[in-house]
Chain A
């Protein structure tokens, strides 16, 4: 069973399912867009995640700062006035990048019990 199938949130699971399908079809760029939608929807539905802390290379930083930096850039307003969004600075993404976005999004969803 693919790991995203363990996600409890139906809407989120559906998006991850779509991304997984796109990955299997070799549509890496489409998958990155879908995964970006999935992660942003996670943040919108659970705004506390914006302030959830994690440790990267020994430095404490918000979970959202771990979103992979491959050109689908997450824009977050810590004050919460603006909704989280993605700014794309690249037109195309590689399979390995899309897979990394997928793994990160699944890991985050499952670790947060979503």
Chain B
């Protein structure tokens, strides 16, 4: 099993103030660079960064290509993953995506992972005038053509439903041929299976137990073998899930340092992704963090915050997990997840994911109001005390497992997993 870090660049407002201090955004950007530099030195395999717009406090990462360009010069080995880039043309013209992906691949000497997605929040869709009912079709059309742009010389041109352009040679071309490995954001089961059929790795919230993951992986790989119609020129089969992360000397300290991070992550995500709340967001004025902090303490584990935000139906929260798979993911993310605790605790917990053939576990350390020095220590502890044995077993056990399945696949493969 391989490991990555995941960045939304969350920046809660001060609970007692109206806005951030003027240095706050500069600080979290530079802290991210420092964290990823450390992760690279320790041998982490991936960093994934999101592209979101206008989702203040939840994510201040609106230009991931710039951040990853900076990382390309400050790291040597860690793969630089778009988790994801928005490909409906209203957000990014497909040719510009192809150009930026290729340029980043050159700058990083072939370390880009091309994750794509369609977005979901009203703030973003409305901000760029992207039709919610058409965004999936837009994503598919654009992503397919981006792959053509990266491989055709010249690009043949396209007259599509959502964009058109004449023949041009889109330059530069990426280092990785035919193109960087393809990923798609996929939190629901349905989307993960679509990913399999399109030959893309799936990057989503860890919404299932390790055993459920095992069942999903089995179906995913069956589809890759038997029903794959690649969207690109090479496939990248793989499953990656996100989980919140904090590693410290004791379990209690890890939970304390984790604090409201996962809870705020779940709360703010639920807020923006629920049209009832996110669609009525008051830009520049709402203080999400204060709303979160004003919840009853027992509600700050995420479960109650989802309920208080109207996301857990009409009943008071119970001990039962939400039935809906995405809400279950948020619920679990907000509770103590498998990667919160001591090195020993985490090692024991994540073993079940390895046993069920998860390819990549992506760790969400930067969330809520977590402190940079705690994140750095967590990365250091995990990287030195937990990761090495997993990386070794990835080579000796998981890679042969994958190769056996890939031997039955007809399509060209380009994967870093």
Chain A positions within 8 Å of B, measured between CB atoms, are: 2-3, 24, 26, 54-60, 69-71, 89-90, 92-97, 99-100, 103-104, 107
Q: How far is the CA of A59 from the CA of B322 in the complex (A)?
A: 10
Chain B residue nearest in CB terms to A3: B219
Interface string of B299-330 (1 = CB under 8 A from A): 00000001100111110000000111011000
Chain A residue nearest in CB terms to B275: A57
B136→A97 contact, CB < 8 A: yes
Write 11 A-B pairs (CB below 8 A) sorted by A numbering.
Answer: A2-B227, A57-B270, A57-B311, A58-B327, A59-B310, A94-B141, A96-B136, A99-B198, A103-B193, A104-B190, A107-B190
A57→B326 contact, CB < 8 A: yes
B322: chain A residues within 8 A (beta carbon): 55, 58
Q: How far is the CA of A107 from the CA of B325 in the complex (A)?
A: 13
Indicate which residue in A59, A89, A100, A107 contacts B313 across the interface (CB closer than 8 Å).
A59
B307→A58 contact, CB < 8 A: yes
Q: Which of A54, A89, A96, A103 has the most CB of B within 10 A?
A: A96
Main secondary structure of the interface of A (DSSP, over half): mixed
Known contacts A2-B227, A95-B229; A57 and B139 CB within 8 A of each other? no
Q: How far is the CA of A57 from the CA of B326 in the complex (A)?
A: 7
Chain B interface size range: 35 or more
Q: Which of A69, A100, A104 has the most CB of B within 10 A?
A: A100
Indicate which residue in A3, A57, A58, A96 contacts B194 across the interface (CB closer than 8 Å).
A96
A95: chain B residues within 8 A (beta carbon): 140, 198, 229
Q: How far is the CA of A110 from the CA of B303 in the complex (A)?
A: 29
Q: How far is the CA of A96 from the CA of B324 in the complex (A)?
A: 22
Indicate which residue in A55, A94, A107 contacts B136 across the interface (CB closer than 8 Å).
A94
B137→A93 contact, CB < 8 A: yes
Q: How far is the CA of A57 from the CA of B187 in the complex (A)?
A: 12
B140: chain A residues within 8 A (beta carbon): 94-97
Distance to closest chain A CB from B280 (angstroms)? 15
Q: How far is the CA of A93 from the CA of B161 in the complex (A)?
A: 10
A100→B191 contact, CB < 8 A: yes
Known contacts A58-B311, A58-B313, A59-B311; A97 and B137 CB within 8 A of each other? yes
B132: chain A residues within 8 A (beta carbon): 69
Q: Does B189 contact A (CB under 8 A)?
A: yes
Chain B residue nearest in CB terms to A71: B133
Q: Does B349 contact A (CB under 8 A)?
A: no
